Amino acid sequence: MNRKISISLIFVFVGSLLASLIQTNNGSVKIQDVRFVGSAGQLMSGLLYIPKDATASSPQPAVLAIHGYINSRETQSAFAIELSRRGFVVLALDQTGHGFSDPPAFAHGFGGPDGLRYLRSLPFVDRDRVALEGHSMGGWASLMAASAHPDGYQAIVLEGSSTGTLGTGEGTAEFPKNLLLVFSQFDEFSSLMWGVDVPKDMVTTKKLQKLFNTGDEVIVEKTYGNIADGSARRLAMPSVTHPGDHHSPVAVGHAVEWLQTILKPEQQRASSDQIWHWKELGTFIALLGLCFLIIPLSERLLLSNRFQTLSLTMPAFNGAEGKSWYVAALLTIGLPIITFFPFQTLGALAVPANAIWAQDITNGIVIWMLGNTLISLTLFGLWVKFGGGNIKQLKQLGVGSGRELFASAGFAAAVISVLYILVVLVDFFFTSDFRIWVVALKSMSKVHFFQFLFYLPAFCVFFIAMGASLHSQLRIKNLSTSMAMVVNAVVLSIGFVLLLLVQYVPLLTGDTLAIASQPLLTIVAIQFAPLMVLVACISTWFFYRTGSVYPGGFINGLFVCWYVVAGQATQAIPLIG
């Protein structure tokens, strides 16, 4: 078991080291985790990439890079890495209410004006060569910065974004200056951004034609206007989705080429010369190592004197068999995805962000979880009453005493605390988190921590109830632990895979999302597919190891609550934090 712990830690170390070497361009770029005070007194956060040639005596061009909604500064790393290794100073900003920037979200121009002001105040930045780059809502933040400081930038790149949205002002031939618009062929938000159901149709819209100062269909990758007077315009349309912009060499290449052409850094490189994907591989390896660590670390703790009492006798088999099992499995697969959009939409409306639960998306997830828990327990109760065999007491379901409940909660807290300390250490020594694409685990701010405590009970209830059903009704007789983990991983994740296929196949074949009104929650659902695989493996291993649903339920509750809360926007000012 020590060997497995060592291998997991090696994954974390090697992955984080690789990420650090790539994002610092082998030490030639310094990365600082910066905090500064905004114009309204709010604390703002960012990652500052400083090339070695950027000094007070030799100031260099700079770019303010801003992520989209419910993301954080790290999602801009592909752009930040490629720009900084070309000599640009880059500030990857946390929008207000995101990452480590103070809430509420959407306030103070999304943080864009304050970010631009701070970047221009740095002594090693050439104020005459400053640009803006933003993805989705980060594009709106960039436009807010451009509007607040019309003479403070020379070019702008909007990724998956638009003008004239949420108070950003209609784009014209003069505003914003020297615009590159990167809007992907399969962008889920074409209706919101450009008023068309199919992204490719945006080239015929009056809104885009006005921005490009033409009465004709806008031609992709043709340059309109001229750089000298700030009227330059270009449209690029990579073959990816809205969140795919972050992992698109084409999208990154267009941004690099545009900003190199206009701001003329000293270290010119071909736009195809990109290394950022190695950093993504590094943080993915680290994330895998962290996930692999959970089971051997838990095994080690379960052997200790303090927690060995949690190792109980496995309850006798009492699962459904034959057709009953398949019916239960189909309900377990189908209910979460059938309710995914309506319950979350209802939750966000019924429980808007407030001083206790301050995150809109998390509120929707919680209502979806609690709604599914009530439905599942009702159906499970009917099965127990009319077809559940000889279930007479809760112990047969892996639900133990109150003493076991509290001991399991303490055990889970110990396991997750070790993981959290590891995340903090990696952040401190490597300025890196654990991620692949938008699936990321990172340290929490003070605001996040107290929100985590407020949301935690709902998450734990959901995963404990899920475990009770998964390991009684859906338990298969004489199945090994590893095979049970595989079966349960398929049962819990396949519904989300099917939901994503239903949504994306029409979009990727030239139409729009099957349920076009839910682009944001569709993107949220992407994260649940791998997350539920992990949840199933943890829940199953702990049940087979301890005979109880409590340890796995609490670890899943703590882990997923941490994952969700740290990665969401905070729309209200919390009561504590």
Q: Give the residue, 309 or 265, on which the prediction is more confident.
A: 265
Helices (H), strands (E): how many in the chain? 16, 10
Q: Are strands 89-94 and 60-66 parallel, antiparallel or unpaired?
A: parallel
Report CA 130 to chain centroid distance, whole Å: 28
The pTM assigned to this predicted structure is: 0.95
Q: Are strands 43-51 and 89-94 parallel, antiparallel or unpaired?
A: antiparallel
Residue 128 has pLDDT above 80, yes or no: yes
Task: Categorize the per-residue pLDDT at 401 as very low, low, confident or very high, splitting at 50, 70 and 90.
Answer: confident
Mean pLDDT score across all residues of the chain: 94
Question: Cis peptide leading into 104, omega within 30 of 0?
Answer: yes
Domain boundaries, the chain: 26-274, 319-566
User: What would the mean pLDDT of 146-168 be, rounded to a whole number?
Assistant: 94
Per-residue pLDDT, 344: 94
Report CA 62 to chain centroid distance, whole Å: 26
Dihedral sign (CA 51, 53, 58, 60) = negative
Rounded distance between C-alpha atoms, residue 536 and residue 543, angstroms: 11
Per-residue pLDDT, 391: 61
User: What would the mean pLDDT of 89-95 be, rounded to a whole number?
Assistant: 98
Q: Are strands 439-441 and 434-436 parallel, antiparallel or unpaired?
A: antiparallel
Residue 229: closest CA among 207, 262, 206, 203: 262
41 dihedral zone (left: phi>0; alpha: psi -120 to 50; beta): left
Q: What is the DSSP string of 531-551?
A: HHHHHHHHHHHHHHHHS-SHH
Kindly list the distances between the CA atom of residue 186 and the CA atoms of 67, 206, 246, 526, in Å, as whole numbers in the listed order: 19, 20, 14, 15
Task: Categorize the per-residue pLDDT at 384 as very low, low, confident or very high, splitting at 50, 70 and 90.
Answer: confident
User: What would the mean pLDDT of 533-542 be, rounded to a whole number?
Assistant: 97
User: What would the mean pLDDT of 29-45 be, rounded to a whole number?
Assistant: 97
User: What would the mean pLDDT of 167-188 be, rounded to a whole number?
Assistant: 94
Percent of the chain with pLDDT over 90: 86
CB atoms within 10 A of CB 6: 11
Rounded distance between C-alpha atoms, residue 338 and residue 247, angstroms: 29
Kindly list the distances between the CA atom of residue 90 and the CA atoms of 115, 130, 242, in Å, as whole numbers in the listed order: 11, 10, 22
Per-residue pLDDT, 377: 86
Residue 126: closest CA among 47, 51, 65, 181: 51
Rounded distance between C-alpha atoms, residue 229 and residue 219, angstroms: 21
- Residue count (the chain): 577
Residue environment code for 428-440, b if the CB has 16+ CB neighbours within 10 A, otherwise e: eebbbbbbbebbb
User: What would the mean pLDDT of 518-545 be, rounded to a whole number?
Assistant: 96
User: What would the mean pLDDT of 344-348 be, rounded to a whole number?
Assistant: 90
Report CA 252 to chain centroid distance, whole Å: 19
Rounded distance between C-alpha atoms, residue 490 and residue 537, angstroms: 10
CATH entry 3.40.30.10 includes domain 26-274: no
**Least confident residue range of 28-32, 126-130, 390-394, 444-448:** 390-394
Rounded distance between C-alpha atoms, residue 374 and residue 354, angstroms: 24
Residue 190 has pLDDT above 70, yes or no: yes
Question: Would you call 403 exposed, middle or buried from its count of C-beta atoms within 10 A (0-12, 13-18, 19+)?
Answer: exposed
Residue 464 has pLDDT above 70, yes or no: yes
CB atoms within 10 A of CB 501: 11
Per-residue pLDDT, 301: 95
